[in-house]
Structure 1
Amino acid sequence: MDEINTSVSRRRFLQATGVTGAAAATAVMGVPGTGLEATSAEAQTARAQPNTVVTKNICHQCPARCGIDVYTTDGRVHAIYGTADHPISNGKLCPKGPLGVYILYDPDRWRGPMKRTNPAKGRNEDPGFVPISWDEALDTVAARLNALREAGESHRFALLYGRGWGASCAGLQGTFGKLYGSPNVAIGHSSMCSDGSIISKKMLDGNAGYNAYDYAHTNYILMFGVGFLEAFRPYNNNMQVWGHIRGRKSPKTRVTAVDVHVNTTLAASDRGLLIRPGTDGALALAIAHVILTEGLWEKSFVGDFRDGRNRFVAGQSVSPALFEEKWTQGLVEWWNVELKDRTVDWAAGITDIPADRILATAREFGSTRPAMAIYERGAHAHSNGIYNGMAIHSLNALVGSMYAVGGLMNQMGPSYGAMPADENEYMDDWAQNGAWKDMPRIDRKGSADGYLMANNMMQEVGPNHLAGNPYKLDTMMFYLTNPIWTAPNGQVWEEALKDVFIIDTSPFPSETGHYADLILPDHTYLERLQDAPTYPFQGFPMTQLRVPAVEPLHDTKYYGDVLIEIGKRMNGPMGEYYRALGDTENVLRHLAEGFRADPGDNGVTDFESWKEKGVWYKKPYIYRQVNGTFYRWDGRDYTIEMTEEEVQANLLKTPSGRFEFRSSQMEANAAWIAERTGRDPARLMFPIWEEPQHPGGGDLFLVTPKVALHAEGRGHNIPMVIAHLQPTVGGRGEAFCEINPATAEARGIGDGDMVRISSDAGEVTARARVYAGVRPDTIVLPMEYGHWAAGRWSKAVPTQHSGECTINQSDRVTGQCNYYTTKVNVTKA
């Protein structure tokens, strides 16, 4: 086995564990995937009579949470297929789905818990990891946390996590922080993902979550920076629904896609608009202007002029008294403050999209029902992201798509039962009244100089700790996140993690793990028992269950059980609480008790039937808006008319109970926003245009999108992924830097040349792919490779990491990390 920097050598492992000689050979030969399977007569007899088992599980290659059937024969996983009766997968998988086998048998996985022996930390420092027992590892963590708590410094413990899944893992973290007493347990990665989308929508419709979508019945989709056929969730189902809406459905759904380069989505759309980065909001405002001036808005939802005469004329203000709104608030005020001047000619100058194409798009979108406008961080990962997002989401209200057939809605949650114990009964005085409650979070979320409406600010944790602002951390624990690599300007994190005790729980080596003092390796997803409520899908409630396909190959432990075991070792009532929880299986059994009173459509009523089916769900989505009237499902149809109070409580959760073009939440915080961002307090509560700020010091925009085989940090060490990363432009064994022919010629860069990409943060190198499908003012380098401590194959990729020249800038309102807004210089290397 090849030795890598962050792993323990086989010889060191055997020496530390006392396993040598024939015993060592037997231990290795019994592990599937080593190439040294047992050759005894008993093993050969077992192979002659294969025993194949199909286990229900949930894919972990992206947030989609597709149901999978895992085929295991004689103890070895050899195939993964989509579950036929799972609503997301429907018997299908995307190209990433079958690769779980390679993740399970990755030769570079951690073999068990380990501790660091080299106190020096850095890229070129060998951690000197040596194996330890789980008891020693867990006792070490608990002793450290107990000592901090007894010293009144529990706030100096932070737990950072990435793509958490359900109540049996990420769901345990908040309670841990509450009982332990730290404002920094837990800090999620959402600000480095798509919080800009969540929060900009919340400002208008009151819901703090991603939307669910009725793609199958829509007739028009307007996409802003979505990557629908590359990485938009749920990717597998998106490809299925694409075949329906673009082939079998009549009329065929029309698609306009907005992005900075021609990707698979733009190539497959009816119209592709190459937009200047950060100007999506200007395009949306111009589309709204056309919808109003040409009378295309959905009057049954929005309302109308009292005399039926359209007074929306470019450049002219309108009296609000002349318009009677129905399910919206502030439309005429928005027009007067912003929209009246946002013509297609104005937008053409901002976005670099021809005015006639903007006009055609606006007329199509405004006159087609049902239609929807969707977006992600291609649009809102800029300093003006809050307003780009608000402008785009406003289009959904103008055309009446909120909760309509073929429109968008909010995701319902599962009918879980109660936890085995109530944490409120285990709160000691420190948990209830400790000084930790007065301590600011390390990411400064919600602080006077922080980010107003942010859910998390993970990208600020490393820099803040390094600066001691507001204090220094003592201990950090990481779950499903690798911020040295994923955070912009990760070089700062490399310095920050040198003087803090690091606990990493990844099953694999990583850059953050390279700095760890303790490795507490998780199972891979094919070895876990874990719940996974659906990511926003089609609105109806659904939750999946991961069932282990094999016994753990190595001495690993499920992260949820790690938290519980640490909790059991904590002093006082906190320890009693976790002893009452028992383990994650006990937690899951209690959650499944909720299904007895609310059986799933597929017959799931308890834990055992949940394991058998792999999923619980209840169709259909129970709310629907039809011609401006909201209804509930009666068991057969949508016939129960909802009151305004019910709509406000369940759907439009704003102070007015309306879709607010004049956002009450933004207005309530107008003074804060105006003071810290310099915005005009008379305008900032509306979806407005604002020029984005592009740091970096260069002349070309750097955009770092996800691609189809991006597996959120789990695909980088799989050779198949590396070989097929960028299907649009090739890319065998590396990530290409897409550069326009004119831009390349002006810099003396040829196709295949190595280029140097530099900004005020740093510089990286990559191979150029001269590509006419990218804007002349933009280069595209997928955020996928450049790993230096994450496995043998990922280290062999010549492309360096885009994050090392990405400036750490965030939207001051939402906290959204501005990944797509840095400007760089590009020269031939």
Structure 2
Amino acid sequence: MKLFQTLLDRRRFLQSSAVVGATAGAVGVTGLTGLAQAPQARAQTPRGETVVTKSICAQCPARCGIDVYTTDGRVHAIYGDTGNPIANGKLCPKGHLGSYFLYDPDRFKGPMKRTNPEKGRDEDPGFVPISWDEALDMVAERLNGLRERGESHRFAHFYGRGWGASDAGLYGDFGKLYGTPNSAIGHASMCAEGSKRAKRATDGNDSYNSYDYRNTNYLLIMGASFLEAFRPYNNVMQMWGHMRSKSPKTRVTCVDVRMNPTMAAADRALYIKPGTDGAFALAVAHVILTEALWDKEFVGDFYQASRRFVSGESIPEDSFEENWVHGLTEWWNQELKDRTPEWAEAITSIPARHIRQTAIEFGSTRPAVALFERGPTGHTNGTYNGMAIHALNALVGSLFAKGGLGYQMGVPYGDLPVSADDYLDDYARDGAWKDQPRIDMAGTERWPMTSHMMQETGPNHLAGDPYKLDTAMFFYTNPIWTAPDPKVWEEAFKDVFIIDTSPFPGETAMYADLILPDSTYLERLQDSPTYPFEGWPMTALRVPAVEPIYDTRHFGDILIGIGKRLNGPAGEYYRALDSVENVLRHRAAGFADNPGDNGVNDFESWKEKGVWYKKPYHWRLDRGRFYEWGGLDYDLQMSPEEVKAKLFKTPSGKFEFKSGFLEEHAAYIETEMGIPRERVGLIQWVEPQHSGGDGDLYFVTPKTPLHAEGRGANVPHNIAIHQPIVGGRDTVYLEVHPRTAQERGIRNGDRVRITSDLGSIEAECRFVAGHRPDTLVLPFEFGHWAQGRWAKGRGPGHSGEITANVSDPISGLASYYTGKVRLERA
């Protein structure tokens, strides 16, 4: 009956529609009976002029160009900038959240000083408002006093995301003029320094790679969270769509310890035992050589055509003619000849047949790229793991090749209006501060190959080794929460005068004696050179969409304001430097002789377009020869000397399977890692040293697409959709393989306790059958005891509190992924 009535109603509707169409054509709609007349259209009430401002997102390191829509002085929409080559009019899920940061009710409204001398989690700082002049005078008085006492080294700058010449780019001159080795200590050792050091050791470039995804036919992704957090994330997702729909489609093999969006979307997903990525890569390299799949024009070949690489057999030292590589024969004889897929299976738990098939595909599909990040490098053997993976790019000739990988070119900025070298006094040139090491001991005999060791600062200060800090200033970093074993920092920094510049009330801010709040990214004038992207130079400009809605200032202007108050020539320098806008106008003057492809040639056009860039990438490997861009084509063949100066910046001027950089530190590596001195330079398998005491499960804390630079925990929209695998609502769940949980009597949804030798935290369990049974996954974002009303006290417990402060001896990267824990019902 219901079916018949439905058909009847549909028939009547069609009949009525036919009558309406016929009648409307004859007399117009107004002549119909039985149909209501449409109300008269009325214009929307005017709301004022809408202004679109070109700017840059700050939700992650990607630096996507954005169009910020402001009406009646209020930001109400953010979209990708169609003129920005990274964004291409698109944004990732977190790119639209900028207004949450701008209008965060918990953000600092102006400078404040602490009135409660006691510091700790349960201590109210007792902040009271002060003026900017009073705040900057306080800082200057403190710094001038330290300098007068010959203790300027006891002042340190710490920073996280440095954007460009207008903020972190000012640090070097400040340290040189004032006189401290601690300007500045960056967070790279708690971020991704391992991948950079692996490149430094093999091809001489201490940097992140750029990638030509459009022309890549094979991706081997190892622990990189490619579709979650790999930079630049927004553009990576765009390129994924291109790679997976072009012809031939880019084939993808993903190697990781857990199920994630990249693993789910790949052609092959291989689950690897944490910390064993180097063994897998060595076995892949072994097969590429034994199957004669290496790029002979780049790598070289045997002098005799009949010779070949055979498993377990050495080759004569003089039998192979190397082209753009160094140490291949020694690498094969001393390390690689025995690294078969069967050997790697016993270490990685990946079946040998899958390793062999991956190697054959990677070696026979050109161009191919192997990329990695913190998954392989977040262990005590991280640099060697990264070197082994990067060696695959050399074996198949992908470095600087079409469809391969290169390095980001610098931006041709103009000079500053003044030179710091002209304002050095005797103390700056030869003061006692020059005999002092950095507080983190980076670059010393303790950590000779590192650039930054921020995670060591808290413990070093607490021990008074090499000395005690007096004053510390923080920009875009919150190490009292983000550092491994952060409770050490909580104790250490009780007697340090802390200056925090975050707009938000993070944990470090709760220890602050002085709050000098930076403006949010929608209120700043700030440059941002791109890294890494497609290689050619690019820099975007962050233009204020609104004037600061509170009494806040751009960090660069805060630093210049302090500098103006320093005694002696340093103060004169900063008064001449004047402001961030003056800095950027002078930097943009460099575009006059190097106009961008979009016509940007000065500061005003940079503001208008939002970005300066200039294509193409300058270098290209083609059939074993290197060429430089001549203006119309890659037609300038490069000499070996030019290749060494511009591309392979190693001692040999080639890609090194035996690293000269590591050999320079052979004694240190032998002592710290137990590797015989004569072998330290070889790319090799090194066992990771796992922390965590008697733990029986690996504990990894990945970043997700909604990580938002560590500030997403106080964004309600972010909280609701944070965890991609199991959802997440008001918390982040601990992802556990069902078998692992059931063996311990744990049910889905149970409250559980995770314990290492540092202590315990609690979380709510969620079953994820796609993970390795021996690996627990707790996405990194929550567990704050400060940061704002939505973040504070939100479960689960903070993963850092059970993560030991252990680092790779070579890169200094904190081993966030190498801890082991125990799991039980709470």
TM-score bucket of the superposed structures, by smaller chain: over 0.9
**Structure 2 unaligned runs (5+)?**
1-43
- Paired residues of 1:632 and 1:642 also in contact (CA < 8 A): yes
Deviations 1:76-103, CA, capped at 9 Å, x for gaps? 0000000001100000000000000111
What is residue 9 of structure 1 aligned with on the other side?
none
1:444 correspondence with 2:441: yes
Give how far 1:796 is off: 4.9
Q: CA deviation at 1:267?
A: 0.1
Match of 1:570 in 2: 566
| Counterpart residue number, 1:659 | 655
Partner of 1:795, secondary structure, is coil
Distance of 1:270 and 1:705 partners within structure 2: 22
Separation (CA, whole Å) in 2 of partners of 1:517 and 1:679: 46
Tell me which residue corresponds to 1:735: 732
* Residues 482 and 348 (structure 1), Cα distance of their counterparts in 2 relative to 1, 3 Å cut: same
Alignment partners' CA distance in 2, 1:774 and 1:431: 55
User: Once the 2 structures are TM-superposed, how far is the Cα of residue 800 of structure 1 from its aligned partner?
Assistant: 1.4
TM-score by length of 1: 0.94
Corresponding position: 1:670 with 2:672: no
2:791 aligned partner, one-letter code: S
Query: Deviation per CA, 1:191-249, whole angstroms, max 9, x where unpaired?
Result: 001111001111110011101001111000001100000000000001100000001x1
Query: Which shows bigger deviation, 664-673 or 76-85?
Result: 664-673
Does residue 487 in structure 1 map to residue 489 in structure 2?
no
Q: Who is 1:700 aligned against?
A: 697
- Among 755, 760, 782, the residue aligned to 1:758: 755
Bigger mean CA deviation after superposition, 402-411 or 714-723? 714-723
Contact 1:53/1:72 (8 A) holds in 2:
yes
Q: Matches of residues 128-207 of structure 1 in structure 2 within 5 Å?
A: 128-207=126-205
* Mapped pair 1:375 → 2:372: yes
Residue in 1 that maps onto 2:381: 384
Task: State yes or no: 1:634 paired with 2:595.
Answer: no
- Equivalent of residue 257 in structure 1, options 246, 254, 279: 254
Q: In the alignment, is the contact (CA less than 8 A) between 1:293 and 1:310 conserved in 2? A: no
Whether the 8 Å CA contact 1:452–1:814 is kept in 2: the answer is: no
Alpha-carbon distance in structure 2 between the residues aligned to 1:687 and 1:740: 34
- Residue 322 of structure 2 corresponds to 325
Q: Is the 8 A contact 1:415 1:594 kept in 2?
A: yes
Taking the aligned partners of 1:158 and 1:231, their CA distance within structure 2 comes to 30
| Structure 2 counterpart of 1:782 | 779
Q: Which amino acid aligns with 1:494?
A: E
- The offset of 1:311, in angstroms, is 2.5
- Residue from 617, 626, 644 that aligns with 2:613: 617
Residue correspondences, number: 782
Give the Cα–Cα distance (whole angstroms) in 1 for the partners of residues 433 and 386 of structure 2. Answer: 35
How far, CA to CA, are the matches of 2:70 and 2:83 in structure 1? 20
Structure 1: gaps (5+ residues): 1-45
State whether structure 2 residue 787 is matched by structure 1 residue 798.
no
Q: Equivalent residue of 2:473, what SS?
A: strand
Task: Give the structure-2-normalised TM-score.
Answer: 0.94
**Counterpart in the other structure of 2:11:** none
In 2, Cα distance between equivalents of 1:663 and 1:263: 34
How many angstroms apart in 2 are the aligned matches of 1:86 and 1:727?
Answer: 28
* CA distance in structure 2 between the aligned counterparts of 1:351 and 1:108, rounded to whole angstroms: 47
Amino acid at match of 1:485: W
1:541 paired with 2:541, answer no
Helix, strand or coil for the counterpart of 1:682? helix
Partner of 1:74: 72
For the residues of structure 1 that align with 2:280 and 2:183, how far apart are their CA atoms?
A: 40
Deviation of residue 426 (structure 1)? Answer: 0.3
Matched, 1:117 2:152: no
CA distance in 1 between partners of 2:793 and 2:137 (Å): 37
Q: CA deviation at 1:445?
A: 1.1
Distance 2:159 2:781 in 1: 19
2:408 is matched with which residue? Answer: 411
Structure 2 CA distance, aligned partners of 1:668 and 1:768?
Answer: 48
Selected match of 1:87 from 80, 85, 88: 85
CA–CA distance in structure 1, aligned partners of residues 80 and 367 of structure 2: 30
1:739-789 deviation line (CA, Å, top 9, x unaligned): 111110011111111111111122111111111111111100011100111
Please say which of residues 712-721 and 374-383 is displaced more in the overlay: 712-721
Q: C-alpha separation between the residues in 1 aligned to 2:52 and 2:383?
A: 46
Distance in 2, matches of 1:310 and 1:518, equals 70
For the 8 Å contact 1:724–1:733, the answer to whether it is kept is no
Do the aligned partners of 2:786 and 2:793 also contact (CA within 8 Å) in 1?
A: no
Distance in 1 (CA, whole Å) between partners of 2:763 and 2:138 is 42
Task: Give, in whole Å, the separation in 2 of the partners of 1:398 and 1:378.
Answer: 22
SS in 1 for 2:75: strand
Matching residue of 1:287: 284
Q: Kindly provide the CA deviation profile for residues 259-305 of structure 1, in whole angstroms up to 9, marking residues without a partner as x.
A: 11110000000011110000000000000000001100000000000
What does the per-residue CA deviation read over 1:480-516, in whole Å, with 9 as the maximum and x for residues that have no partner? 0000111011011100110100000000000010000
Q: What is the aligned counterpart of 1:454 among 435, 441, 450?
A: 450
- The AA in structure 2 aligned to 1:437 is K
**Paired AA for residue 238 in structure 1:** V
Matches of 1:51 and 1:679, distance apart in 2: 67
Residue 124 of structure 2 aligns with which residue? 126
Deviation at 1:676, TM superposition (A): 3.0
Q: Is 303-312 or 56-65 further displaced after alignment?
A: 303-312
Aligned CA distance change for structure 1 residues 133 and 47 (closer, same or farther; 3 Å): farther
Q: Deviations over 1:145-186 (max 9, x none)?
A: 000000000000011000100000000011101111111110
Question: Distance between the aligned counterparts of 1:392 and 1:424, measured in 2?
Answer: 42
Does the 8 Å CA contact 1:758/1:805 hold for their aligned counterparts?
yes
Corresponding position: 1:434 with 2:431: yes
Asked if structure 1 preserves the Cα contact closer than 8 Å seen for 2:158 and 2:477, the reply is: yes
SS of the residue 1:561 aligns to: helix
Aligned residue for 2:262, secondary structure, equals helix
Q: Which amino acid aligns with 2:560?
A: I
Q: What is aligned with 2:21? A: none
Of 705, 709, 712, the residue aligned with 2:709 is: 712
**1:656 to partner: Cα distance:** 1.1
**Counterparts of 1:677 and 1:385, CA distance in 2:** 12
For residue 815 of structure 1, what is the amino acid of its counterpart?
Answer: G
1:520-553: CA deviation from partner (whole Å, max 9, x where unpaired) = 0000000000000001100000000000000101
Distance 2:64 2:114 in 1: 37
Task: Report the Cα offset of residue 733 of structure 1.
Answer: 1.9
1:821 alignment partner, one of 815, 818, 823? 818
- CA RMSD across the alignment: 0.9
Counterpart-to-counterpart distance in 1, 2:673 and 2:265: 39
Q: Distance in 1 between matches of 2:752 and 2:668?
A: 43
Q: 1:310: Cα distance to partner?
A: 3.7
Match of 1:25 in 2: none
In the TM superposition, residue 49 of structure 1 has moved relative to its aligned partner by 4.6
Q: Which residue of 1 aligns with 2:19?
A: none
| Cα distance in 1 between the residues matched to 2:297 and 2:306 | 15
Tell me if the contact between 1:117 and 1:127 (Cα under 8 Å) persists in the aligned partners. Answer: yes
Inter-partner Cα distance in structure 1 for 2:633 and 2:668: 46
Q: SS of the counterpart of 2:679?
A: coil
Q: CA deviation at 1:633?
A: 1.2
SS at match of 1:320: coil
SS at match of 1:406: coil
- Asked if structure 2 preserves the Cα contact closer than 8 Å seen for 1:595 and 1:606, the reply is yes
CA contact (8 A) 1:282 1:350 kept: yes
Deviation at 1:60, TM superposition (A): 0.1
